[in-house]
Structure 1
Amino acid sequence: MVEESARVTKIESDTVWVQAIAKSACGSCQAQKGCGHSLLAKVGQKQIDLPVLKNGFDVQVNDQVIIGVPEQAILRSSMLMYGIPLLAMIITAMGFSLAGIEEKVSVLGAFVALILGFVWVNRYASRLSFSQWHPKLIRKQASELAHIPMCEVNE
């Protein structure tokens, strides 16, 4: 399960709306001042609002929670969204090339196959049940202050 930290923004009957912030690895890099990628990462960071099933947890607005998505859901959705259109494009380009068709027409046909692959995936995905692919509330994130023991030192 891929886990992510999020903050509860709204609570409905059995659904919790959480806000996760997309993170970049640029915060720990030493060359971030002179790197264009760091600037793009800062500009491109977005807050994402997601509906998540409550799973019986008692949460309040502004609680920090951990949400999770099964790895299989990520792999299958990636294959569905990217693999099928790219496979359609490659097979079309190879078929046109083996048939001896001119390169311009082959490239155009491959591009059309890519677009048709995306259209097919969009229609196919609308008929699928994604309930097992949705993010789930795993646990409430414990307060960091609760883990620090308080001791007095007597001299």
Structure 2
Amino acid sequence: MIKEWATVVSWKQGEALLSCDVKASCSSCASRAGCGSRILNKLGPQTSHTLSVACDTPLVAGQKVELGIAEGSLIGSALLVYMSPLVGLFIVSALFQAMFDTNLAAICGALLGGVGGFLIARGFSVKLSRRENWQPVILSVALPPDALRVETMTPADNS
């Protein structure tokens, strides 16, 4: 089980809207200059993701929850997203190269196969996202933000 903490945005009728912060690991390793993740993180301005998770326990906005997702579903979705365009690219490129015997045809086949593989992955992802074992679940719930209050006293307040 892969775990991550999220913040509750809202809770209505058994459905929690959660916000997960995107973590960039760029500050924690020494190879900052040649890191591909650092470059990709700079491209997208999105710093958080919002998702909806079923939850029977009433939650308060600002409350922290621990989410979990099965490793199998994460690996399966990564394989679907990365491998289907790649396989489509190679197969259609080889097919066009064999049929038309030109490099231009192979390039066009590669483009068509990559886009086709992406569309296939997109169609399958909609079907797979409906599976219950592919959904994130709430593993634990932290205290609401207003449940704990700490008062400090200065030495001048003791008199």
TM-score (norm 1): 0.74
Consecutive unaligned residues of structure 1, counting only runs of 5 or more, are 147-155
Is the CA contact 2:11–2:58 (under 8 Å) kept in the aligned structure 1? no
Residues 17 and 80 (structure 1 numbering): CA distance in 2 closer, same or farther, change over 3 Å?
same
Count of matched residue positions in the alignment of Structure 1 and Structure 2? 142
Consecutive unaligned residues of structure 2, counting only runs of 5 or more, are 149-159
- Structure 1 residue 53, shift from structure 2 partner: 1.5
The 2-side partners of 1:132 and 1:47 are apart by 23
What one-letter code is carried by the residue in structure 2 that aligns with 1:44? P
The 2-side partners of 1:109 and 1:25 are apart by 37
SS of match in other structure, 1:23: coil
What one-letter code is carried by the residue in structure 2 that aligns with 1:133? W
Is the CA contact 1:2–1:71 (under 8 Å) kept in the aligned structure 2? yes
Residues 39 and 117 (structure 1 numbering): CA distance in 2 closer, same or farther, change over 3 Å?
closer
The 2-side partners of 1:39 and 1:96 are apart by 34
SS of match in other structure, 1:77: helix
Residues 23 and 121 (structure 1 numbering): CA distance in 2 closer, same or farther, change over 3 Å?
same
- Structure 1 residue 58, shift from structure 2 partner: 4.4
Identical aligned residues as a percent: 23
RMSD: 3.1
Is the CA contact 2:14–2:58 (under 8 Å) kept in the aligned structure 1? no
Is the CA contact 1:23–1:45 (under 8 Å) kept in the aligned structure 2? no
**Aligned match of 1:133:** 134
Q: Provide Cα deviations, 1:82-136, integer angstroms capped at 9, x if missing partner.
A: 2112111112223344557111110111110111122223333334433321111
- Structure 1 residue 142, shift from structure 2 partner: 6.3
TM-score (norm 2): 0.72
Residues 83 and 14 (structure 1 numbering): CA distance in 2 closer, same or farther, change over 3 Å?
same
Q: Provide Cα deviations, 1:56-86, integer angstroms capped at 9, x if missing partner.
A: 4443221111111111111111122221121
Residues 41 and 95 (structure 1 numbering): CA distance in 2 closer, same or farther, change over 3 Å?
closer
When structure 1 is superposed on structure 2, of 102-111 and 57-66 the one drifting more is: 57-66
Which ranges of 4 or more aligned residues in structure 1 deviate by more than 6 Å?
30-33
The 1-side partners of 2:76 and 2:106 are apart by 29
